[in-house]
Amino acid sequence: METKNNNVYDIAVIGAGPAGSVFVFELAKARPELKILLIDGQSKESAKPCGGLLAPDAQKLLARFDLVLPKSVLEDPQIFAVETIDIDQKFVRYYQRYYLNMDRYAFDSWLLSLIPKNVDVIGARCKEIKKDGELYRISVKNADGEITFSSSAIVGADGGGSIVRRTFFEPMKVQYVAIQEWYENRGQRLPYYSCIFDAKTSDSCSWTIHKGNYVVFGGAFRREGCREAFAEQKSRLEAFLGNSFGEVKKTEACLVSSPRRMRDFKTGEGSVFLLGEAAGFISPSSFEGLSSAMYSGKLLADAFAKGAPHEKVQKLYRKETRSLRLKLRIKSVKRAILCNPFTRKIIMKSGIQSISPYTKNK
């Protein structure tokens, strides 16, 4: 697309998390002639709440991209097991895991630093997107005020609360509010990494993770009464552990998706495309979404790299994400089993795939 207007782009990407950054990183290399805009709405103060654990699937993707994770992204301690706690049934099991403990904002910033110089990156919040003839008009706001851009194609990589999905498509049917609180690590005896179930306060899971000088407690709760449910679960967990988290240093919250049906996965339509959690690509059982985000970014970049019209890009992208959609749909069945108190009790009591620690971290 030839134009003299510097505010008109071939592709505008909303969201510079792992999905958006991988998409732009791959496409800018394959088709450097494209004029690409990447809108980054994050800052250190407004980083997305996240457990910040890099799962094996995400590690494999980085290896496929021939990328080496810098030490500065990692957090202490590195964790080798998850302590699974059922508060209501007073049951604990340990399961081996192979995650990398990291600073999520530092990880996102590192990926963003890899973006080629021929891409325009702007730090701003997207406020509105409108169809304007053959183009899309994008209104953003930052410290300099409001700015408007136009683009032939829109890529939504803006997470569970995606403005792109809200504007053009059916929203996700089931969404939770993920709430995290950070506490100073004073040596209080709390699980290094735990997965928590409490049927009284949530039909989903919660977690604790140590992050350097901090301990994080977070969970996913139904939107109505989420703050009260979080506070009650925290109190019940402290009583179960026999320890207090202490004074709250920081609180974070955001919407998180939980795909339950195949129709919850939406890859796009026309000249509007969705990536990562905005497309529904997130595990409904663990809320792990980094691997799916990066993978979907790669698949859409590959589809665009062929230089086909947007309609053909859509068809190819949807075809290539079929196995990902099926994988995540199967995980919704896993979620139904794990989050059901009866079946969870059977699994945990059986001890299948669990490990026995020499001493309990209590």
Determine the structural domain holding residue 232 and report its residue range.
Answer: 72-102+174-258+335-355
State whether 186 and 222 are in the same domain.
yes
| b/e code 15-54 from CB counts within 10 Å (16+ = b) | bbbbbbbbbbbbbbeebeebbbbbbbbbeeeebbbbbbbb
The sign of the torsion formed by the CA atoms of 300, 304, 310, 315 equals negative
Mean predicted confidence (pLDDT) in 289-316? 96
**41 φ, ψ (degrees, to nearest 5):** -95, 0
The domain that holds 208 is classified in CATH as 3.30.9.10
What's the chain's average pLDDT?
93
User: Is residue 361 pLDDT above 50, yes or no?
Assistant: no
Any domain includes 110: yes
Cα separations in angstroms, 232 against 45, 76, 221, 236, 238: 26, 29, 11, 6, 10
Any domain includes 60: no
State whether 209 and 306 are in the same domain.
no
CB atoms closer than 10 angstroms to residue 77: 12
The confidence score (pLDDT) of residue 3 equals 35
State whether 205 and 301 are in the same domain.
no
Any domain includes 325: yes
The confidence score (pLDDT) of residue 44 equals 75
State whether 248 and 282 are in the same domain.
no
State whether 183 and 38 are in the same domain.
no
**349 φ, ψ (degrees, to nearest 5):** -70, -30
With residues binned 3-state (H G I as helix, E B as strand, rest as coil), the percentages for the chain, rounded to 5, are 35, 30, 35
* CA neighbor of 162 nearest in space, from 268, 267, 253, 274: 274
Output Rg (C-alpha) for the chain, integer angstroms: 21
State whether 183 and 328 are in the same domain.
no
- Cβ–Cβ < 8 Å for 320, 313: no
State whether 192 and 329 are in the same domain.
no
CA distance 342 to 306: 50
Comparison of pLDDT for 362 and 160, the residue scoring more? 160
Any domain includes 65: no
- pLDDT, tens digit, 9 for 90 and up, residues 5-56: 568 999 999 999 999 999 999 999 999 999 999 999 887 777 777 889 999 9
Cα separations in angstroms, 282 against 18, 254, 277: 13, 15, 5
CA distance 259 to 332: 7
Amino acid at 352: I
Any domain includes 1: no
The confidence score (pLDDT) of residue 143 equals 86
The confidence score (pLDDT) of residue 109 equals 95
The position carrying tokens 């002639």 is 33
Cα separations in angstroms, 13 against 44, 145, 193, 257, 332: 20, 20, 34, 20, 28
The confidence score (pLDDT) of residue 340 equals 95
The domain that holds 287 is classified in CATH as 3.50.50.60
Amino acid at 84: T
User: Is residue 342 pLDDT above 70, yes or no?
Assistant: yes
Q: What is the DSSP string of 162-184?
A: -HHHHHHSPPPS-EEEEEEEEEE
Any domain includes 205: yes
- pLDDT, tens digit, 9 for 90 and up, residues 51-108: 899 999 999 999 999 999 999 999 999 989 999 999 999 999 999 999 999 999 999 9
The confidence score (pLDDT) of residue 223 equals 94
CA distance 276 to 290: 8
State whether 156 and 193 are in the same domain.
no
Q: What is the pTM of this model?
A: 0.93
Cα separations in angstroms, 327 against 52, 99, 292, 323: 22, 19, 10, 6
State whether 36 and 118 are in the same domain.
yes
Number of domains composing the chain: 2
State whether 96 and 134 are in the same domain.
no
The sign of the torsion formed by the CA atoms of 193, 204, 220, 245 equals negative
Mean predicted confidence (pLDDT) in 344-358? 87
Number of helices (H) and strands (E), helices first, in the chain? 9, 18
The confidence score (pLDDT) of residue 110 equals 96
State whether 35 and 108 are in the same domain.
yes
Alpha helical stretches, state H, 153-289: 163-168, 226-241
CA distance 196 to 84: 6
Mean predicted confidence (pLDDT) in 101-119? 95
Quote the percentage of the chain above a pLDDT of 70: 97
Any domain includes 139: yes
Any domain includes 362: no
Comparison of pLDDT for 174 and 237, the residue scoring more? 237
User: Is residue 241 pLDDT above 60, yes or no?
Assistant: yes
* CA neighbor of 274 nearest in space, from 154, 357, 156, 141: 156
What is the 8-class DSSP label of residue 240? Answer: H
State whether 278 and 305 are in the same domain.
yes
Mean predicted confidence (pLDDT) in 117-137? 95
**171 φ, ψ (degrees, to nearest 5):** -70, 165
